[in-house]
Chains A and B, each alone.
Chain A
């Protein structure tokens, strides 16, 4: 190895390197694709969850549409509202925020209040249990408690409480709709958080028949419908159904005469549901024994 060959090798390598860099530099200039620089700024303010709650595939794609003016920044219900306001200000558009939407559960029948009529043995998912005589719960519309919703939620927004009833975390929920799709009893629905009045039951049986199976069932007594403004609540097949076009008429007094506490009122951040004064107090903490 003499100095001459080392220098030759180094020189050739350097030459190739310079040549290739020149080619890259020219290509960068000549083949440049113009992209609105605002897209980067908007993209940085988005949460980067790529969850699809806005209906667009990915945050980058959403940023492109926002800059083009085809979608309102407020459509991203997952982002912090302050970031959305920043985007709106930066682009000079209206935030157009909609009410954050989350998943609502139409059942309050945990194992401490809802009777199990038969013990289910088999694959431990709600979808499988529902195919075996409906799961064996006394109320055939009620939650089976085998946590398909908890497993399918990609955002850890659903957790099962000590009575095997799912609880939705309003902060983490992105209203992606996976739980709506997977629940075999169809108990989840996506509602705006402004819906504070809610019937947490789907039971179509009346009076004692319903209460025998679940202590917090809607018995179809109709008191809430009477106490509400006309047109807000209809009694359909022994179940109270709220017409949310009249949601502005809903108030906390409606729930007070409910004997079981099936109709509830959500507090400010939907972290807690409040039952009426007359609702029977539930003291049992563990599952109802069978037989």
Chain B
């Protein structure tokens, strides 16, 4: 009995799918990062543009080359390398030498992603791995800051950007301190309004706090970002700041200052929320976020560095698998978690 009147397909159930895939999610994250990058360019000029383009370009090229060497299909099309490049660029100071930025882009992808096995296998956020590498290898350049909204920012680079590879970087005449460093080392405070609207010095992505929040909300509404992570981080930071600020307002900064200064906004919204490196269970995600929030506060206030977001997130990433195991939910019909 041969029924040839229909050309049919067969597949396993389910036969319908939600119309969202990895490529769509990544593309939307890139869209959300573009306004933040645009603001960075607006604040810091062509230095910013070149740095961001450099990190992104080298991240993408590194991924392409590694896929070529491994004889696998190119994964550049899923936009994850673009996101890593953009995020790395946004963590750099505006006067960062361009050759170092390129190196950072290569290290982020090669060591932060492919050493672990590629997309989905990395333990740490690749952009932060790159940033951590740069911090360890070039501690002076990574903490040299330049003021924003300089008059000639669209026509000339900061001189340190154009430093020759491997040459000793020149110390610029015009340099400043980030608000965090100012508070920690010089006990100088900054107007919160300046922080929110990006009128201060800092890294490329630090300055546009409100814009970052808005872009994050766009992603959360489209269900492409887990809102619990920024919420948990903010909650922990706010709670600690309020408590200590009440005890001694001179020594401990206000909650608003804490939230909008440094890389907390961009870290909480774009870096800690990276799906691969954050826990899968609901309770685990909350614990992870609160732990990161606490660590950020502790490192900033009592640690040796003015900025604690990077290390807090990296520590959170290393503990994410443990959170997954600790918060294994109770399976329906069983008595306790993990029971058969």
User: Which residues of A are at the interface with B, using a C-beta cutoff of 8 A?
Assistant: 117-123, 128, 131-133, 136, 138, 209, 212, 290-291
Residues A119 and B8 in contact, CB atoms below 8 Å apart: yes
Q: Which of B4, B8, B12 is within 8 Å of A128, CB to CB? A: B12
Residues A120 and B11 in contact, CB atoms below 8 Å apart: yes
In the assembled complex, 7 residue pairs joining A and B whose CB atoms fall closer than 8 Å, in A order, are A117-B8, A118-B9, A120-B9, A120-B10, A122-B12, A209-B1, A291-B6
Residues 7 to 22 of chain B near chain A (Cβ within 8 Å): 7-12
* CA gap between A118 and B7 in the complex, in Å: 7
Given A209-B1, A212-B2, is A133 in contact with B7 using a C-beta cutoff of 8 Å?
Answer: no
Please name the residue on chain B nearest to A212 by beta carbon.
B2
User: Which residues of B are at the interface with A, using a C-beta cutoff of 8 A?
Assistant: 1-2, 4, 6-12
Given A209-B1, A212-B2, is A121 in contact with B9 using a C-beta cutoff of 8 Å?
Answer: yes
Interface of B is mostly: loop
Minimum C-beta distance from B336 to chain A (A): 33
Minimum C-beta distance from A144 to chain B (A): 12
Given contacts A118-B10, A121-B11, A209-B1, 14 further A-B contacts (CB under 8 A): A118-B8, A118-B9, A119-B7, A119-B8, A119-B10, A120-B9, A120-B10, A121-B10, A128-B12, A132-B10, A133-B10, A138-B2, A290-B7, A291-B4
Task: Write out the residue numbers on chain B whose beta carbons fall within 8 Å of the beta carbon of A123.
Answer: 12
Please name the residue on chain A nearest to B9 by beta carbon.
A119
Residues A132 and B1 in contact, CB atoms below 8 Å apart: no
Task: Write out the residue numbers on chain A whose beta carbons fall within 8 Å of the beta carbon of B6.
Answer: 291
Minimum C-beta distance from A125 to chain B (A): 12
Residues A132 and B11 in contact, CB atoms below 8 Å apart: yes
Task: Write out the residue numbers on chain B whose beta carbons fall within 8 Å of the beta carbon of A118.
Answer: 8-10
Residues B12 and A132 in contact, CB atoms below 8 Å apart: yes
* CA gap between A117 and B8 in the complex, in Å: 8
* CA gap between A119 and B9 in the complex, in Å: 5
Please name the residue on chain B nearest to A213 by beta carbon.
B2
Interface centre among B7, B9, B10, B12 (most CB of A within 10 A): B10
* CA gap between A221 and B247 in the complex, in Å: 98
Minimum C-beta distance from B1 to chain A (A): 7
* CA gap between A122 and B1 in the complex, in Å: 26
